[in-house]
Amino acid sequence: MSTTMSSDEEEFFDDEYDDGFEQDDSMDGNDSVSEPDIIDVMSPSIEDAPAKKPYDVAYKVRTMQEIMEMQQKEVRKVQNLLEVPASTAAILLRHYAWNAEKLQEQFWNDPARALLEAGLSPPSSPSTSTVLLPPSSPRHPVRSIRNTFSPARRTRSIPAAPGAAALASAFECSICCVDYPKDQAEAQTLALGCGHRFCRTCWTEYLNGKVQNEGESARIQCMENGCNRIVREEIVDELVTGNVSKKYHNLLNQAYVADSPSLRWCPHARCDYIIECKTPRRMLNNLVPTVTCNCGRDLCFGCGFADNHRPVLCKIVRMWEKKCADDSETANWLQANTKECTKCQSTIEKNGGCNHMTCKKCKWEFCWVCMGPWSEHGTSWYQCNRFDERSGIDARDTQAKSRASLERYLHYFNRWANHEHSAKLDADFYKATEKKMEQMQNSGNLSWIEVQFAKQAVDVVIRARITLKWSYCMAFYLKRNNMTELFEDNQRDLERAVENLGYSLEQNIGDTGSIAKLRQDITNQSAYVQKRHDILLDDTLRGYLEQRWQFSVEV
């Protein structure tokens, strides 16, 4: 985003702010400005994608040009309200993460502090310029163009109006130590409002490094050591060009999207669209905000997941992915298939049929079945008749619980993974279906539209499998009650319908004997799968709003 203003606007003085930004006595500085407690999900400002059901969210797909226009609009509003230059308004908004209400509250409560924290006010000490002094003077540190602090030539700071003293005579840049005659100093050097002047060559190299190497944009500071003055956007545009300038503005736009809770980048490759959704974050506990980008792909606005994970809440998706990815299940397997020596707690795996175990580490002898000392088994030899002895009950209980927990996890994980794998196979089958559609079209003298039923059926199967996949994730965390049984009934009905349709597609799609009958059969099954799919989603998502679901974890 670019704004236009004269170069004189960079020169700020304390008295300028005292005169121009006096706090209005009619405004109560203690009144905080907060967002409304209730924000309408069906925001009228996002009318292009109206919500159709209570659990759907209204959203709009934005282009980069629209994002830039949104920034400019907000800058103009703050500029007019606070009566500041456009560049000042932009820096203030970026400092307050584009929260105009918070900015106004802080600004009217304490204008000087708001400007200082945003990097706009001059230093508390008099503004200075760096001028050459005799070699005996102490070194004056400046911020290096490589973002380190390096000693310049022997200089010292003397009071002066911002940017004025250095232009009264020849100027030496305190970074590169190049001398500029009086008649060239103004054209070849540059100072921010803080008055710290350096040559344009050093400024350009410094800004290139900040953008290219460090990825900075909105908070690039003055090169002077300890000065937090922010470099205006116009200064950067004047000094950097080409790919650096392009990257700089891309970084500004990325920061704007990242700061806004109502904006999110489409996560899919080679897509530059941005999704705008006004649904408050606090409502996401009861919603799964799935949206469709203009690139044709689904995503979750709540967590940024690059697909549709309905009917599962974002928090549960994160827990499930972590559970599947970390080593916790490996530990469960070890606990279920190995045991610890009751003496030294070393892990032991049974590799034979004998229940008489001897720990290789401490030589302790115990029974694999009851975990009790082997010496208590007497003449029972390798048949344990002490299974209920107290010495082994705790160990057996822990073992049984671990095994049951692992079996339960694997039950849901295997079905989750199976539907994920099947959806990928169905996507591959989709390509083969297109060839068979051509065969049906040629053999039956049908139009291209008349054979689209096969393609549409594959689409229905893939969508249903994705929903079934995530339904097993949800089922894993659900507490057992009557509502859970209803959920599993809907899940079972959808799964059965999907498998029947999938089988019909694989076995019969190549049969060109009776295309009319095949089309009718596939169409009917597709409609039934879609119906069962809608029933499962509708009941589950409404259940969140009605708070019918109880989970074994906190959501």
User: Domain containing 184 — which CATH number?
Assistant: 3.30.40.10
Q: Is the pLDDT of residue 508 over 70?
A: yes
Output the domain CATH number for residue 537. 1.20.120.1750
What range does the domain containing 363 cover? 341-388
* 444 falls within a domain: yes
Residue 511: the pLDDT is: 63
What CA–CA distance (Å, rounded) separates 265 from 270?
11
* 232 falls within a domain: yes
Q: Tens digit of pLDDT for each residue in 53-97?
A: 889 999 999 999 999 999 999 999 999 999 889 999 999 999 999
- Among residues 227, 266, 277, 354, which one is catalytic? 354
Lowest mean pLDDT among 58-72, 135-149, 411-425: 135-149
What CA–CA distance (Å, rounded) separates 294 from 466?
20
What CA–CA distance (Å, rounded) separates 330 from 406?
10
Q: Is the pLDDT of residue 522 over 50?
A: yes
The mean pLDDT value for 351-363 works out to 76
Domain match, 153 and 229 both: yes
* 357 falls within a domain: yes
Residue 329: the pLDDT is: 63
Residue whose entry in the numeric block shows the structure tokens 């996890």 = 409
Domain match, 350 and 372 both: yes
What is the pLDDT confidence band of residue 263, given thresholds at 50, 70 and 90? very high
Q: Is the pLDDT of residue 287 over 70?
A: yes
Q: Tens digit of pLDDT for each residue in 424-450?
A: 887 777 777 777 777 777 766 677 777
What is the pLDDT confidence band of residue 510, given thresholds at 50, 70 and 90? low
Half-sphere exposure of residue 456, counting CA atoms within 13 Å on the CB side? 16
pTM: 0.70
What is the pLDDT confidence band of residue 553, given thresholds at 50, 70 and 90? very high
- Cα dist. 405→303, 332, 336, 349, 441 in Å? 28, 8, 9, 19, 53
What CA–CA distance (Å, rounded) separates 122 from 25?
26
Lowest mean pLDDT among 96-105, 116-125, 204-213: 116-125
Q: Name the domain count of the chain.
A: 3
Domain match, 406 and 533 both: yes
Q: Is 314 a catalytic residue?
A: no
Domain match, 368 and 418 both: no
Provide the token pair at 384: 């344990």
Q: Specify the higher pLDDT residue, 402 or 164.
A: 402
> What is the distance of C-alpha 93 from the center of its chain?
22
Residue 492: the pLDDT is: 95
Q: What percent of the chain has pLDDT over 70?
A: 73
Q: How many CB atoms lie within 10 A of CB 13?
A: 14
Lowest mean pLDDT among 57-71, 144-158, 227-241, 524-538: 144-158
CA 33, 35, 36 angle in degrees (round to 5)? 115
The mean pLDDT value for 111-135 works out to 61
Domain match, 134 and 178 both: yes
Residue 505: the pLDDT is: 84
| Residue that terminates a domain, selected from 238, 256, 274 | 256
- Cα dist. 331→43, 211, 351, 413, 496 in Å? 48, 45, 19, 16, 34
List CB contacts of 542: < 8 A, sequence separation 6 or more: 54, 55
Provide the token pair at 195: 């008055």
Domain match, 474 and 376 both: no
The mean pLDDT value for 13-21 works out to 36
Residue 168: the pLDDT is: 64
Domain match, 405 and 382 both: no
Q: Which of 93, 128, 85 is closest to 114 using CA atoms?
A: 93
Q: Strands, DSSP E only, in 246-374?
A: 263-265, 274-277, 290-292, 298-300, 339-340, 347-348, 356-358, 365-367
* 76 falls within a domain: no
Q: Is the pLDDT of residue 162 over 50?
A: no
Residue 471: the pLDDT is: 97
Residue 360: the pLDDT is: 84
| DSSP class of 378 | G
Domain match, 405 and 537 both: yes
Is the dihedral angle over the CA atoms 513, 519, 524, 525 positive or is it negative? positive
The mean pLDDT value for 400-411 works out to 79
| Residue that terminates a domain, selected from 233, 256, 279 | 256
Residue whose entry in the numeric block shows the structure tokens 């606990």 = 335
CA 172, 174, 176 angle in degrees (round to 5)? 85
Residue 428: the pLDDT is: 76
List CB contacts of 279: < 8 A, sequence separation 6 or more: 39, 41, 57, 58, 287, 289, 301
* 422 falls within a domain: yes
Q: Tens digit of pLDDT for each residue in 194-242?
A: 889 999 999 999 999 999 999 999 999 999 988 999 999 999 999 999 9
Q: Strands, DSSP E only, in 355-435?
A: 356-358, 365-367
3-state SS, residue 60: strand
Q: Specify the higher pLDDT residue, 74 or 169.
A: 74
Cβ atoms of residues 430 and 424 within 8 Å: no
What is the pLDDT confidence band of residue 128, given thresholds at 50, 70 and 90? very low
- Cα dist. 382→286, 339, 341, 365 in Å? 57, 18, 18, 13
Cβ atoms of residues 41 and 545 within 8 Å: no
* 42 falls within a domain: no
What CA–CA distance (Å, rounded) separates 293 from 307?
11
Cβ atoms of residues 191 and 129 within 8 Å: yes
3-state SS, residue 259: helix
What is the pLDDT confidence band of residue 500, given thresholds at 50, 70 and 90? very high
If you average pLDDT over each of 273-277, 350-354, 449-453, which comes out highest? 273-277
Residue 333: the pLDDT is: 64
| Residue that terminates a domain, selected from 256, 279, 308 | 256
Domain match, 359 and 409 both: no
Domain match, 405 and 464 both: yes
Provide the token pair at 254: 């990325």
Domain match, 368 and 471 both: no
Residue 334: the pLDDT is: 66
Domain match, 405 and 534 both: yes
Q: Is the pLDDT of residue 44 over 60?
A: no
Q: Is the pLDDT of residue 143 over 80?
A: no
Residue 384: the pLDDT is: 55
CA 179, 183, 187 angle in degrees (round to 5)? 80
* 51 falls within a domain: no
* 426 falls within a domain: yes
Instruction: Write out the H or E segment, with its range, that includes residue 238.
Output: helix 233-239
Lowest mean pLDDT among 20-24, 479-483, 522-526: 20-24
Q: Is the pLDDT of residue 148 over 70?
A: no
Q: Tens digit of pLDDT for each residue in 288-319?
A: 999 999 999 999 999 999 999 999 999 999 99
What CA–CA distance (Å, rounded) separates 368 from 338?
10
Q: Which of 310, 319, 274 is closest to 293 using CA atoms?
A: 274
Give 479-482's long-range contacts (Cβ < 8 A, gap of 24+). Answer: 479/550, 479/551, 479/552, 481/550
Q: Strands, DSSP E only, in 166-286?
A: 171-172, 179-180, 189-191, 197-199, 263-265, 274-277
Mean pLDDT, the chain, as a whole number?
A: 78
Residue whose entry in the numeric block shows the structure tokens 């073992």 = 399
